[in-house]
Structure 1
Amino acid sequence: MKKTLLITTLLASAMMPVVSQAFGNRDAWVRGNAQGSAEYTILGKGQSQLYLACDSYGDKPEMLIFTDESGRQVSTDSNQRIMVKIDREEAADVSETASHAGAENFVWMWDKLRTGKQVTVSGDGVKSASFTLKGAARILPEYIDSSCVAEFAR
């Protein structure tokens, strides 16, 4: 009887979906490294998250992924528009880095993330969300010292 119960429990738990905790913190920026990428992220309300990644070897272009409160995502490799507004600055389009203008916007955003107080991100098919920039300068290196590479420069 105990053996049958144990086997049933093991089978049932193996069939249940695994719930993973999102990488990040709601109150502070976090840095991590995974599979050759430097990752920087912060969580917001609901499922919202702002995630930046730079390939440590310069083989892949820099990436930004924004997830809204309900879990919908846009990213720099999805051909969808992503806008960032930092403090009282004009919103900038950071959707791509395949062009010089797009790459300049990404560098502008990176530098402002390090010096600003709040970023609001919006995009095609997602609701906007705001994130604190408190402590971002301690986590995000200066852009020139990061391993980020624009798509056009690869």
Structure 2
Amino acid sequence: MNDSVDRFPIGFAVGTGQDRRLGAVRRTALRSCLGPGPDFDGGGMKRLVLVLALFACLPAQAEPTGRWWSGFGQGNLEYGIKNDSAGSDEFYIACMQDRTYISLRIGGVEPKQGQSAIVTIGPDEFEVQLGKDGYVETASHVGYDTFRAWWAAMRAGANMRVRLSTGQSTNFTLKGAAKILPRDACETDFQR
């Protein structure tokens, strides 16, 4: 083959003479496997490979980083924010049909049952004991009151600082939280 041939990852060769005939054989073989499709000439194939390479380079993540998001996964409402794409700092609210809780991950550490967390939003400070699975639970009257006050503070505040009893801490922006979190908080376990 001569040096003017462009090589593509899926085995197409585009050039002149013998190389072009070899490319035609490969295109015919590809069409027999995939069925009719676009003409895989040199320019079209280069564009196709470029587009596929760009999609392969894009990060695949469900939630954005640095801003509040909401979703409806497997029949559950969920809200949250991640500070980085690795998810080492994450604040997650699950509003399920049978359970409502808040999950925290700070510096890659998920707290354990019995540990505490202090959340500061403006002048408001919330100290919570982490229950089952290390989550902030909402089954008690105190959990219900704390969850509702916390929810209102997140909608109105600008910044939220979370400190775990293990020493890890981080700040989450609350910019955009009022647009994501509905005015009325999720139904808590205490209300069920």
Q: Does 1:66 align with 2:101?
A: no
Please say if residues 27 and 42 of structure 1, whose CA atoms lie closer than 8 Å, have aligned partners that are also in contact: yes
Relative to structure 1, the CA distance from residue 33 to residue 152 in structure 2 (aligned partners, 3 Å threshold; closer, same or farther) is same
Counterpart of 1:113 (choices 148, 154, 168) is 154
Q: Which residue of 1 aligns with 2:77?
A: 38
Compared CA separation, residues 153 and 80, structure 1 to 2 (3 A): farther
Counterpart in the other structure of 1:24: 63
Report the count of equivalent residues: 126
The answer to whether the 8 Å contact 1:72/1:126 transfers is no
Structure 2 contact 95–187 (Cα < 8 Å) conserved: yes
Q: Conserved in 2, the CA contact under 8 Å of 1:68 and 1:126?
A: no
- TM-score, length of structure 1 as denominator length: 0.70
Q: CA deviation at 1:113?
A: 0.6
Greater relative CO, 1 or 2 (CA 8 Å, sep 6+): 1
Q: Secondary structure at the match of 1:149?
A: coil
Query: Residue 17 of structure 1 aligns with which residue?
Result: none
**C-alpha distance in structure 1 between counterparts of 2:109 and 2:163, whole Å:** 11
Q: 2:102–2:137: 8 Å Cα contact kept in structure 1?
A: no
For the aligned residue pairs, the C-alpha RMSD in angstroms reads 2.3
The answer to whether the 8 A contact 2:126-2:146 is kept is: no
CA distance in 1, matches of 2:191, 2:126: 24
> Tell me, what secondary structure is at the counterpart of 1:153?
coil
Q: Where do 5+ consecutive residues of structure 2 fail to align?
A: 1-58, 130-135
Task: Compute the displacement of 1:90 (Å).
Answer: 2.7
Map 1:4-153 onto structure 2 (within 5 A).
Answer: 23-44=62-83, 47-55=88-96, 58-60=97-99, 62-69=100-107, 71-74=108-111, 78-93=113-128, 95-125=136-166, 127-144=168-185, 148-153=186-191
User: Which consecutive unaligned segments of at least 5 residues does structure 1 have?
Assistant: 1-19
Partner SS state of residue 168, structure 2: strand
Kept in 2: contact 1:83–1:122 (CA 8 A): yes
* Separation in 2, partners of 1:82, 1:116: 18
Which of these two proteins has the greater Rg computed from alpha carbons?
Answer: 2
Matched AA of 1:129? T
Q: Cα offset for 1:44?
A: 1.6
